[in-house]
Structure 1
Amino acid sequence: MGSPRFFAIWGSVGVALKEWPNRDQRIHYAWHLLFWFLPVVFIQWIVAGPMLLAYSWHVLVPTLAIGTYLCLADWYAIQKGIWYFDPKQITGWKIAGEMPWEEAAFFYITSLLVAQTFLILLPATLR
């Protein structure tokens, strides 16, 4: 499937799902997270797939380290009552009974996007 066609279909599906009258509001966070972030990951792999694969360790380590740090900091904030989530906006599946899986996915996907973008934009002589 060609990229322009893929994005046209993706956009159409997004509009249809956003306007779907019986859509459960509890998938709101997950829907936005996956609908808006995954195409960017897809584009990065179209643009620089072989390079990202060759330097996969340089993407994996920072993604896991930073994503885990952010999850732990968020878990602490939730435990202390500093941070909370509207139960109407999340699916209800929680890690360690506290942190919504959507929040952990957000931190890891964001860390992945930053690591991949940094590597893509880094001059070849510095890789």
Structure 2
Amino acid sequence: MSTTLTYATFLVLFVVAPIFGLSVAAQRQGLPLPREGLLPTGLMVVVALAYTTPWDNYLIGQGVWWYGPDTVALTVGLAPLEEYLFMAFQPVLAALWFYTLRWPPVHPEGPLPGRARLVGTVGWLLVSLFGVWFLTDPSTYYLGAILAWACPVVALQWAVGGHYLWAARRSLAPVVVLPVAYLWAVDWYAIELGIWTISADHTTGIGLFGLPVEEMVFFLVTTLLVVQGIVLYHWVVDRWQ
């Protein structure tokens, strides 16, 4: 499917507009986002840009994905400017959804399961190793790149407060699932429009309604990183206080 939409226009319609809508909704609910939510959200944006930029540029250079002709305005390195904005806006979108649904932040009741931290940390590290192994095969290269890049950070989060995250899992599920489902739909639409194209040579060919499983995993783990990072931020601050 061809498109007359540029990446910038797409970003405004499907990322910036929902951010604005969630901001208005949070303000109407009287949520104290400027004070309690601004710092952790800002930290997530900085970390996302710093950690994702070299990975993103490298995979573009490897031909894992590319952009449609006349859809981008300016390229910085190998990635378009709009890509960096998407990197920054996605944590903001996830954070606003978190604060809209889960204010005050999650406080699980009862004793925290200590074993969950060890099991979660080891489990995510094992997934990271699978990612490294997947890098050796062209058809699983993109999936391996996602797992090897993201899962060590998830493992670190669980090493810090996995017992807390496990105790709060039921409260956090909708905070993760709903924005992930939205981002899947947005990503699918962008691929259908030809704003970006995922290489068939570097993917498994498995997907859902035309959305590659690699893209599904990407938006799942990145949203998980943001939500867990915010939860752990508030948990650490509460412990200090």
- Taking structure 2 as the reference length, the TM-score comes to 0.42
Q: Aligned partners of 2:159, 2:139: CA distance in 1, in Å?
A: 32
Q: Aligned partners of 2:134, 2:191: CA distance in 1, in Å?
A: 30
Over aligned residues, Cα RMSD in angstroms? 2.6
Bigger relative contact order, structure 1 or 2 (CA pairs below 8 A, ≥6 apart): 1
Listed as ranges, the matches of 1:88-107 within 5 Å are: 88-96=201-209, 98-107=210-219
Matching residue within 210, 216, 220 for 1:108: 220
Residue 17 of structure 1: CA displacement?
7.0
Give deviations 1:62-105, integer Å, cap 9, x for gaps.
Answer: 21111111100011112222221111111111211x11001011
Moved over 3 A (4+): none
Q: Is the 8 A contact 2:134 2:140 kept in 1?
A: no
Residue 27 of structure 1: CA displacement?
1.1
Unaligned runs of 5+ in 1: none
Q: Aligned partners of 1:74, 1:41: CA distance in 2, in Å?
A: 23
Decide which moves more: 25-34 or 36-45. 36-45
1:124 equivalent to 2:238? Answer yes
Q: Aligned partners of 2:170, 2:182: CA distance in 1, in Å?
A: 18
Residue identity over aligned pairs, in percent, reads 31
Query: What is the DSSP-based 3-state SS (H/G/I as helix, E as strand, rest coil) of the residue aligned with 2:197?
Result: coil
The structure that has the greater radius of gyration is 2
Q: Is the 8 A contact 1:45 1:52 kept in 2?
A: yes
- Taking structure 1 as the reference length, the TM-score comes to 0.75
The aligned residue for residue 53 of structure 1 is 166
Query: What is the DSSP-based 3-state SS (H/G/I as helix, E as strand, rest coil) of the residue aligned with 2:195?
Result: coil
